[in-house]
Amino acid sequence: MKRLLPSSVIAVLCLVQFVDVLGVTEVLTAAPRMLRSLGAGAGAASAVLTSYAMCFGGLLMVGARLGDRFGHRRVLLGGIALFAAGSLCAAVAGSAAVLIAGRCLQGAAAAISVPASLRLLIAATPDAAGRRAAMSAWSAAGATAGAGGFAVGGALTQLAGWRVMFWVNLPLAALIAAGVVRAVAPPHSPAIPAGPTATPPRDAPALGLDLPGGLLFSAGVAGLVLGASLLQPPSRAALGLAVVGAGAVLLGATAWVERRARDPLIPGQALHLPALRTGAGAAFLNTATTSSVAAVATLDLQRAQHLSAAGAGLRLLPLSVGAIVGSSLAAAVLRRVPGPRAIALGLSLIGAADAGLIGLHRAGWLMSVPIAAAGAGLGVSSVAANASGTDVGASVQAAAAGALNTAAQLGTALGVAAVLLLSAATDHAALPLRGPTLGWAGAALIALAGAAVIGRGRSRPAVSDQSSTALLPTRGRPARASR
């Protein structure tokens, strides 16, 4: 069978990223109608909204190592099949418990698929210019999906019912799987040059999966996300704090186990790479200060302004448009300023947009202006964060991919929980800012503080074997392809 061109390989793999990230936010707009149709109380809302991100973020590091162990193409196809199974479970759900189970399966599938598709994407683009373009497309797909999930979920729910969100994933999964089989070359195929991130030779020593560390890490992340979602209403605050504390303890135990593991989830040298730390921190801040703001805006538009799910989604559509524009401009920005400065620029724009929403959220379509600006900042910062975080050596690239996506999913889950908590806790307080406006103000301060901290950093090359320094196109340094 004739292989497709590398551009088609990139398109297929970016579609995997788009669909998996879309699943994080598309349910937020549809949640009220979903819960009503299933006869579920408000107490089920937190689990429905966070179950996907919880499993996605918690299992990403394990998913990254599965690709190293069994082959990224094989694992990607398995993840696509699991995503279809989770979507079917959610589509036929007759209760909130079954819906939550389906969402957990979808999240686990995304955790398997995303790191594998990113590694295959990097392997398919060994030259510097091609890899920069591929990373821009990848970042744009993720940023657009995360921002556009609100509009997609609202439109589908209004026009055809919330179950269609899950039914449509079945033919889509089949289409993506067919594209992977046709477009992505199997290991050792000459159709895709075997760069430093290609699947290891068959006689290479197999990497261990470090199941104890993986289980502890997944449980710790789940504790943080679930606990944060339980902090509201106040009657459950004590339980939420207890679950958050348990999650923190489990993450501490993970660090202890990982220091003694033969094949840790994150190699020790990766933790000391400034590029990875900067990229992961920025990935967390990007989603924490945009997904949370959009989630609160969705609820405000439907509850206080009485818009339909589709109407609320349309008001937030400029977030996706802005993300596409920002991602397309990011390469030009990165050619002129170092990576940390580009991240700071994007976060500053997000912070200003979050603050602008305070005065314009009741101004009809004028609220689209700060919403679009937040999307543009997200696009610029996401591309720069992914470029920085993957500018590491081949031996730690799987861990870097997992860490970046884990940080982004934790940012979504914890950011949404924190801003919703801040908004709800002050609904009746006698404060100049209360309800959603206080939540947006908090998100704005976090974004601006992150911009100030990251902007002080300097762009430094990764210090590891076969480093992909071409991913950060800094001025005065010639681009270099990976060896």
pLDDT in tens, 107-134: 999 988 988 888 888 778 777 677 777 8
For the stretch 127-170, pLDDT in tens is 767 777 787 788 778 777 876 787 788 888 888 889 999 999 99
Q: What pLDDT is recorded for position 206?
A: 45
Q: Which string of b and e fits 105-130 if b means at least 16 CB within 10 Å?
A: bbbbbbbbbbbbbbbbbbbbbbbbeb
The pTM of the full predicted model, rounded to 2 decimals, is: 0.74
> By C-alpha distance, which of 58, 72, 150 is closest to 104?
58
- Regions of the chain where pLDDT drops below 70: 1-6, 41-43, 46, 128, 147, 185-210, 232-234, 263, 265-271, 393-399, 424-434, 457-483
Dihedral Cα 301, 316, 29, 344, nearest 10 deg: -110
For the stretch 28-58, pLDDT in tens is 778 878 888 888 766 677 678 778 877 887 7
Residues 6+ away with beta carbon under 8 Å from 406: 57, 58, 60, 61, 221, 280
